[in-house]
Amino acid sequence: DVQLQASGGGVVQTGGSLRLSCAASGFTFDDFAVGWFRQAPGKEREGVSCFSYSDGSTYVLDSGKGRFTISSDSGKNTAFLQMISLKPEDTAVYYCAALYGLGDCRTRMRWVRAWGQGTLVTVSS
């Protein structure tokens, strides 16, 4: 059974940092690409970042470039989203997901095999 569990959210001040973790069970990242998404209050869910071991593709949304870094552990079953220089507009519930399908990981963000539960990130001004 493909499952993911996200953690690491919290409350930080503007300019602060957080590292989100996503623990996978029932699969490794050789099987599926991994993506991070977020949903802010009153807004649609958007793709934040992803990576794929199968083709080496990575993606970070424009507003996160230079601030967000996606990575995984050597066991390929825990993914991380390191976020620095956080801004109030980064406030959202963050979700990790296992991605399937063809193409680079950004393309595969359209097809989610399984979602982790969300973890809330609040950036205070």
C-beta separation of 10 from 121 below 8 A:
yes
Tell the residue number behind the tokens 């199968």, with chain if given.
Answer: 54
Query: How far apart (Å, rounded) are the C-alpha atoms in residues 122 and 118?
Result: 13
Residue 18 has φ and ψ, to the nearest 5°, of -145, 150
* CA-based radius of gyration for the chain: 13
Mean pLDDT of 120-124: 98
Span 21-30, pLDDT tens digits: 999 999 999 9
Q: What is the largest CA-CA distance in the chain?
A: 40
pLDDT at 71 > cutoff 90: yes
Decide: residue 33, CB within 10 A, 0-12 exposed, 13-18 middle, 19+ buried: buried
Span 79-106, pLDDT tens digits: 999 999 999 999 999 999 999 989 999 9
Identify which of 121, 51, 112 has the alpha carbon closest to the alpha carbon of residue 87: 121
Query: How far apart (Å, rounded) are the C-alpha atoms in residues 122 and 46?
Result: 17
